[in-house]
Structure 1
């Protein structure tokens, strides 16, 4: 029994980086065979995109754009060169967003996450993610079978039927939301049903607070978290070290300032952007709208890929002020026009019957001229008036929030 899925997980980071970027030009060429990518990446020479600096110059594709793209050019918004019939399964998620499943083994890259959570070939896994139209159930089903596990395709709900399956097949593993795991354990205890065969779990799709982690652990289940999306599959996962989440292999993972495609400084909270290297269905700089930050160093488990803190909130902090939308990219534009400023945070409050905007701006050299210029830029960019408050450098929280709505 080995500690790692394969040697890719423990290679030198510089070796991984070189291998990923050696593959990227060909993936870009394949992506640009699709009309929407051809338009978005017009003028890009794929052969020149061989490092992170070059990749960061390409435009991001925001997940929030996908419903409109898919509606305008169904089913995949012109972002996929292959026809629907070239894929294995075809799904939909709210939006609607239409997601195809590739036909190769482990199309959602989840076997590594299950292995890191202690699942092994020959295990029986109770999969309680939904199998109806959305890809969740099939993501974990395909990943478990790629690892060599047998899967009970239970889906969520109907605990009585779940108990019968558990008592008959004695699964050692659970995959599903942490909420339903608690429901299952509670119902079993109340009904006197034996679910003690379940010893480990890979959970996703909902918050897993420390209190619930402790409760599940006390009931004999060793549970690990995974972060993924219906577009990309499993992106990052916990390991036995429980020291953050390790980014999956075959992905180029970036963290950018919300509202931009600009990478943040190491350790800063920002929006997750992922480039996948699946030649059949590549994603180029897909901005997920989720916040996280990179952790320094490598995991104590021996895996050498980038570690992240996990999900830290949403990057899309768009809010409406006086009937007009104010967006994170507008705050980023103010920062670009005034590079002498540090972090920025727009605070929206209410006084009487009026909305008020205050831009908190870090600066080491406050002065009246700069104040006047930033106030003017705030009005020019947002088309709304507001005030500016100077704050000390590094005093604003490192939480990725650039717009905070404090109206009750």
Structure 2
């Protein structure tokens, strides 16, 4: 840890990183297959030695976050996905659902030191940590990262605003960790009480949206923040740097962007679901669908970090909706498109008033004719068990927002 970068991994060449990650990928697939019950079953017919490219990775099945609840109920507590027994872990957590999360014994098991360092935290400083320490891992994600850097931590947690302000005034922390909305509450409370917490000039925020207006408000109140993106299952996935141009992928994960409802990678720049393969040795998640959407941002960050970037959080990938009392899933729309290679892209739009649902599948294609539209309509009915119309549109007509199903009904 020195200078602007946490380590040399952040500035290695693209080719060097890709070679190292693909070598690690093959080993990780072998570990997951050999040491976990779940992936042992899921990858039973997979040769780990052949998984040495992104193309090979894309052929493996996706396990989505929405699957965890049922998997963990059938094989408690972690769905057969950890390489060690629960009593061999450092900490065990419970997220809403409930979904249980595993923490290994490493000094920075969630790899959050990288994002704290990018946000400006250095050895010898004090971090005022207001991520929750209760049940979920957020508080310890940042706490262990700060300790790995060499920072002292005040474990503020959530709530008790007056006491948080008093602690910040007395302890003079260099910065804050927590949600941006709670930081605003603390800063405004301090201003109202006349408390001097001007030492808190930087922050790492996450757990909720950070619109530009809120970032600007926090800066005006004296604290400049950077945000990170991570999950309780995976740890850090991506983070901002001072360049403020997209979010740089963490070095300990392999990220794909796939079409919602499928495992098919989309072209760089196209919005899709974030699918992550973690190199975590205790909890080796292979092609884990987060349910969050983003897109790859072209080029490298001006800050000098060379890893790929994503545009940040761009909504949820699970667009399942009810039409005439029946669920329609993004995967069903994807199946319709696969049956007709003439379609470049599709979006199912549901309109009408409540109880009068109308489905229209908009399909980008260079080909036309009633015959194609009729064939697609037949496939739509066969797969969804619902009637719908088909509209053929020119390629490039549909918005690049990752939506496969759009609910445009009038609920008045």
User: TM-score by structure 2 length?
Assistant: 0.98
The equivalent of 2:4 in structure 1 is: 3
1:297 to 1:352, Cα distance in 2 relative to 1, 3 A: closer
Equivalent position to 1:171, from 150, 170, 173 = 173
Q: Distance in 1 between matches of 2:156 and 2:164?
A: 7
The equivalent of 2:348 in structure 1 is: 346
Is 1:274 aligned to 2:276, yes or no? yes
Q: Give the conservation status (yes or no) of the 8 Å contact 1:342–1:394.
A: no
Q: Distance in 2 between matches of 1:6 and 1:77?
A: 34
SS in 2 for 1:399: coil
Q: Shift of the alpha carbon at 1:165? A: 1.1
Q: Distance in 1 between matches of 2:114 and 2:262?
A: 31
The equivalent of 2:95 in structure 1 is: 93
Q: Give the conservation status (yes or no) of the 8 Å contact 1:176–1:204.
A: yes
The equivalent of 1:398 in structure 2 is: 400
Q: Distance in 2 between matches of 1:353 and 1:255?
A: 35
Written as runs of structure 1 = structure 2, the 5 A alignment for 1:146-295 is 146-295=148-297
Q: Shift of the alpha carbon at 1:352? A: 7.1
Q: Distance in 2 between matches of 1:353 and 1:111?
A: 51
- Deviations along 1:324-370, whole A, 9 cap, x unmatched? 10000111111111111121111111257421101111111111110
Which piece of structure 1 moves more, 319-328 or 215-224?
215-224
The equivalent of 1:19 in structure 2 is: 20
SS in 1 for 2:352: strand
The equivalent of 1:44 in structure 2 is: 46
Q: Give the conservation status (yes or no) of the 8 Å contact 2:275–2:289.
A: yes
1:352 to 1:29, Cα distance in 2 relative to 1, 3 A: closer
1:287 to 1:353, Cα distance in 2 relative to 1, 3 A: closer
Equivalent position to 2:120, from 113, 118, 121 = 118
The equivalent of 2:129 in structure 1 is: 127
Q: Give the conservation status (yes or no) of the 8 Å contact 2:365–2:392.
A: yes
Equivalent position to 1:53, from 55, 61, 64 = 55
Q: Shift of the alpha carbon at 1:95? A: 1.3
Q: Shift of the alpha carbon at 1:239? A: 0.2
Q: Shift of the alpha carbon at 1:317? A: 0.2
Q: Shift of the alpha carbon at 1:200? A: 0.3
SS in 2 for 1:225: strand
The equivalent of 2:29 in structure 1 is: 28
Aligned residues: 408
The equivalent of 2:379 in structure 1 is: 377
Q: Distance in 2 between matches of 1:77 and 1:205?
A: 25
SS in 2 for 1:283: coil
Q: Shift of the alpha carbon at 1:281? A: 1.8
SS in 2 for 1:119: coil
Q: Distance in 1 between matches of 2:404 and 2:227?
A: 27
The equivalent of 2:66 in structure 1 is: 64
SS in 1 for 2:293: strand
Q: Distance in 2 between matches of 1:318 and 1:176?
A: 31
The equivalent of 1:309 in structure 2 is: 311
Q: Shift of the alpha carbon at 1:81? A: 2.7
Which piece of structure 1 moves more, 368-377 or 33-42?
33-42
Q: Shift of the alpha carbon at 1:280? A: 2.2
SS in 2 for 1:201: strand
Gaps of at least 5 residues in structure 2 are: none
SS in 2 for 1:22: helix
SS in 2 for 1:167: helix
Q: Shift of the alpha carbon at 1:248? A: 0.4
The equivalent of 1:321 in structure 2 is: 323
Gaps of at least 5 residues in structure 1 are: none
User: TM-score by structure 1 length?
Assistant: 0.98
- Deviations along 1:121-167, whole A, 9 cap, x unmatched? 11100000111111111111111111111110000111111122112
Report runs of 4+ in structure 1 exceeding 6 Å deviation: none
1:144 to 1:366, Cα distance in 2 relative to 1, 3 A: same
SS in 2 for 1:344: strand
